[in-house]
């Protein structure tokens, strides 16, 4: 079981959130664009500092970005179909209600708000991201026990207290590196849903810097996002009714991966490997490896799936 821990040992989802590529202003800007001039939809920042708040893109700015300038905010990424979420979320809510206002809990239904989940690079559920002064400071994935959660949260509240007083800016802001305009171009294209332009921008970076790991990872994510944008829930039923249709299996696996049902996507393609041979088997293997590359190589789900793939192949 993954434990809350420092950035050097975080899960793939947490590492993505803390890599410096997370720009909370992206959701903030979309929320502002969708608001009527008369006020904020979905509720503004809680006047009394409600301990637990349901967050959507509409109130993300107020309840996560702005609020994190005043206190630590934990973003709980969950889904109704996620059984581990049903174990973790009540514990987080209990601790938030007992916190005396020292921190707030922002609950995000990833099915209703997929862009927020994508923003944080969540690869599994539940994922919890700690935000202070408008920036992610720590994260974990999986179910945690109350004593470990309490200790983790208490340490974070102490660690960020100098960064979240009176709406101040991060104390290390002056030391942050300037944004790379090449990545900004690609990220802007992604925000606009122009996957082709984003892919071209990331590929341009790699053409001049073949070893740029950030660009490599972003290119893989972009290609996956472009595929996943074209499939919906019907893909799973179609694949289940036609197990030998490889294109149907690929579409269903992409849909499951986009819903953060990682093990289901891996299992589907490993079973397809077992049923196929020759060139068709190679196609399935290649698609599966592409999904592996969306994760940290040390992710235990990838390691387990690689072992199962090897067994299926040999």
In Å, how far from its chain's centre is CA 68? 19
User: Would you call the peptide bond into 132 cis, given omega within 30 degrees of 0 as the criterion?
Assistant: no
Q: 25-34 and 181-191 are packed helices; what angle lies between their axes, rounded to 10 degrees?
A: 40
Instruction: Give the three-state DSSP class for 105.
Output: strand
Cα distance between residue 84 and residue 87, in whole Å: 5
Terminal CA-CA length for the chain: 30
Rg (CA), the chain: 20
Exposed/middle/buried for residue 205 (C-beta within 10 Å: 0-12, 13-18, 19+): buried
Residues tagged active-site? 82, 85
Tokens of 239: 């694949």
């Amino acid at each position: 079981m993954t434990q809350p821990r420092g950035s050097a040992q975080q899960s793939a989802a947490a590492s993505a959130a803390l890599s410096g590529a997370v720009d909370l202003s992206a959701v903030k800007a979309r929320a502002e664009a969708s608001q009527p001039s008369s006020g904020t939809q979905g509720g503004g920042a809680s006047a009394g500092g409600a301990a637990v708040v349901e967050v959507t893109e509409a109130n993300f700015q107020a309840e996560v970005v702005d609020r994190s300038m005043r206190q630590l905010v934990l973003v709980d990424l969950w889904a109704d179909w996620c059984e581990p979420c049903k174990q973790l979320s009540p514990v987080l809510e209990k601790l938030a209600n007992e916190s005396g206002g020292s921190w707030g809990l922002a609950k995000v239904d990833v099915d209703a708000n997929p862009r927020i989940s994508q923003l944080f690079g969540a690869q599994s559920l539940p994922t919890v991201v700690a935000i202070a002064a408008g920036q992610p400071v720590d994260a974990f994935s999986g179910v945690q026990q109350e004593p470990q959660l309490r200790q983790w949260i208490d340490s974070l509240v102490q660690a960020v207290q100098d960064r979240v007083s009176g709406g101040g800016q991060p104390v290390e802001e002056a030391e942050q590196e300037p944004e790379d305009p090449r990545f900004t171009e690609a990220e802007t294209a992604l925000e606009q849903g122009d996957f082709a332009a984003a892919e071209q921008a990331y590929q341009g970076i790699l053409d001049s810097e073949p070893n740029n790991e950030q660009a490599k990872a972003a290119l893989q994510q972009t290609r996956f996002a472009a595929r996943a944008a074209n499939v919906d829930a019907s893909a799973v039923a179609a694949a289940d009714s036609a197990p030998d249709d490889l294109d149907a299996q690929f579409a269903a696996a992409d849909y499951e991966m986009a819903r953060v049902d990682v093990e289901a996507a891996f299992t589907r393609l490993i079973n397809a490997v077992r049923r196929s041979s020759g060139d068709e088997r190679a196609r399935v293997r290649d698609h599966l490896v592409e999904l592996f590359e969306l994760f940290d190589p040390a992710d235990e789900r990838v390691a387990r799936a690689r072992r199962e793939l090897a067994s299926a192949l040999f």
